[in-house]
Structure 1
Amino acid sequence: MDPLTPDQARRAGEQRRLRLQVLGLNSVEAEATFDRVARLAASFTQSPLAMVNFINDERQMFRGMYIPSASPDDRPNTDGGGVVFDLSEIAREAPSDYGFCPHVVAQGSQLALDDVFDYPRFRGNPLVNDMGVRSYLGTPLRDNTGMILGTVCVADMVPRTWDRKLKEGMQELTETLLSDFRLRDSLLAQQQELFAVFDGAPFPIMLTEGPNHLLRYANGKQGAAFGMIPQFSPGRHVLPGLEAVGVFNAMDDAFHSGQAATLPRASITTYDSPAPQDFSFLCTPVRTSPGAPISGVLTVAMDITGQPYAGSEQRVFAANVQERFERLGAAGVPGMGNADFSR
């Protein structure tokens, strides 16, 4: 396979970033599924270090990681002695050109380095100098569409022979994640059906992703009242009116606590009204797949101008929206496109 030109590599990285954003994977948060795969990789290959690594055009994100615990009894057995550095200090991200995983993604095939020092191209890699890695085995991590999103990799601090059995086993282990990607796409399709219902809702609704509240979706009422912004824009910066009245602080509380948060009353001048209006905001944390960490926040705004509190019909509607959206993350309920939010 011919190496990519810098421009081709940049475009490929951008495409991966967009795909990772759609899947809810474009961040460094640990996820149990990926940590488990990393532990299995370490155990299967008897390696002290393993990662499930997603790579975009800006950074590498180790959403799955196995590192030696404090107890030697919990570590995979190796023939090469102890670890020569403190793996507990490893962060779950790195620059996009750090280490060997970017080479795996670029060439689109498995990379086995029995001894890094045998390869002049790799022996000066920062991973060798910073961490003492001497051997590496990385396998492309493809999603259910065939796109390479990153790698599943293992490494050791001593030279190793990565034989055919280990290479094939790593390939099979990587392919077990296809079901996770399929599930995410299935839930995303159901979300899109739900969004079609939201489009006709009488209240502003938006779904944001990650701790920076990147805009994933906004219905027509949201755009008309608070402004139309591009998808995946950082909400706090592009919706200054909502930031000024404390909406994003409530969203922060929901995202980090895992509990719904309410901003009972906020006065704001909207784009579709010349006079300030009072809104109540309900912020609910959501997940993209069962057992996954919180991925974003669903925010429903209710116009309560002239009311001492939100009307019962509005509260029922907001609770209905939140409940049905959360059910997507719980089981992927069929028939969601026929949901009735009019009551």
Structure 2
Amino acid sequence: MTFPTGTPHPRTPQTELDAALRAFGLTGPEPELDAFAAQLAQEAGVPYAMVNIFGAQQQFFGLHTPGEDSELPTVGRAMPLDHGFCPEVVARKKALVLPDVFSSPRFAGNRVVDEIGIRTYAGVPLLHGDTVLGTLCFVGPVERSLSTGRDSLALIKRRGSDVMEFLYRRAGIQP
């Protein structure tokens, strides 16, 4: 789902999100979240993975990208709210797996398909109660067989739980 620039994003109200981010001590990129992203990318066999926090834009507090010698596009630590598939995950508060982005016309036209060459996606919301802190996702430039969807869903849900357990433990918050 893409959201036209200037359109309100269907997410947790900003004041609620800001309070939750403060409680978890999430202020910007973190080496521990980069490590979660790197491990997810390795397990998924893709070049990109992100721990994505939503505010005025998508911010990657955890990021794994291919090395400098790669021919794949570089991804920075921020992206507009109308790019990618994570806004759909935030709006739905549910995981989304797209083994082959082109198999769904609704998602095939997203800007990241052409700009970054994304062909496969899996993402899960990072939920604290009803508050969506952000998402954990992985993306890759090669489509996958639709039969891989269940394995990708299980992986992204498991790793999303791992990220939330880490955040709860670090902040001393009971889930």
Q: Deviations over 1:273-305 (max 9, x none)?
A: xxxxxxxxxxxxxxxxxxxxxxxxxxxxxxxxx
Amino acid at match of 1:31: E
1:172 aligns with 2:158: yes
Quote the offset at 1:25 in angstroms. Answer: 1.8
The answer to whether the 8 Å contact 2:84/2:111 transfers is yes
CA distance in 1, matches of 2:69, 2:114: 26
1:159 aligns with 2:159: no
2:104 corresponding residue in structure 1: 119
1:98 corresponding residue in structure 2: 83
Radius of gyration: which is bigger? 1
Amino acid at match of 2:66: P
CA distance in 2, matches of 1:67, 1:158: 15
TM-score (norm 1): 0.44
2:3 corresponding residue in structure 1: none
1:66 aligns with 2:52: no
Matching residue within 132, 149, 157 for 2:133: 149
Quote the offset at 1:185 in angstroms. Answer: 3.8
Report which structure shows greater RCO (CA 8 Å, sep ≥6). 2
Amino acid at match of 2:131: M
Quote the offset at 1:8 in angstroms. Answer: 8.6
The answer to whether the 8 Å contact 2:99/2:149 transfers is no
The answer to whether the 8 Å contact 2:48/2:139 transfers is yes
CA distance in 2, matches of 1:140, 1:47: 19
Quote the offset at 1:121 in angstroms. Answer: 1.7
Identity of aligned residues (%): 32
The answer to whether the 8 Å contact 2:41/2:49 transfers is yes
**Alpha-carbon distance change, 182 to 136 in structure 1, aligned in 2, over 3 angstroms:** same
CA distance in 1, matches of 2:35, 2:24: 19
Quote the offset at 1:123 in angstroms. Answer: 1.6
Point out where structure 1 has 5 or more consecutive residues left out of the alignment.
Answer: 1-5, 73-82, 188-343
**Alpha-carbon distance change, 170 to 142 in structure 1, aligned in 2, over 3 angstroms:** same
CA distance in 2, matches of 1:134, 1:94: 18
**Alpha-carbon distance change, 36 to 11 in structure 1, aligned in 2, over 3 angstroms:** closer
1:107 aligns with 2:105: no
Amino acid at match of 2:25: G
CA distance in 1, matches of 2:40, 2:157: 10
Quote the offset at 1:7 in angstroms. Answer: 7.1
Matching residue within 73, 78, 88 for 1:86: 73
The answer to whether the 8 Å contact 1:13/1:55 transfers is no
Point out where structure 2 has 5 or more consecutive residues left out of the alignment.
Answer: 1-6
Q: Deviations over 1:64-85 (max 9, x none)?
A: 111111357xxxxxxxxxx5x4
Which portions of structure 1, spanning 4 or more consecutive aligned residues, are displaced by more than 6 angstroms?
Answer: none
TM-score (norm 2): 0.81
Quote the offset at 1:14 in angstroms. Answer: 4.2
CA distance in 2, matches of 1:8, 1:36: 28
SS in 1 for 2:84: coil
Quote the offset at 1:21 in angstroms. Answer: 3.4
Computed over aligned residues only, the root mean square deviation of the Cα atoms, in angstroms, reads: 2.4
SS in 2 for 1:52: strand
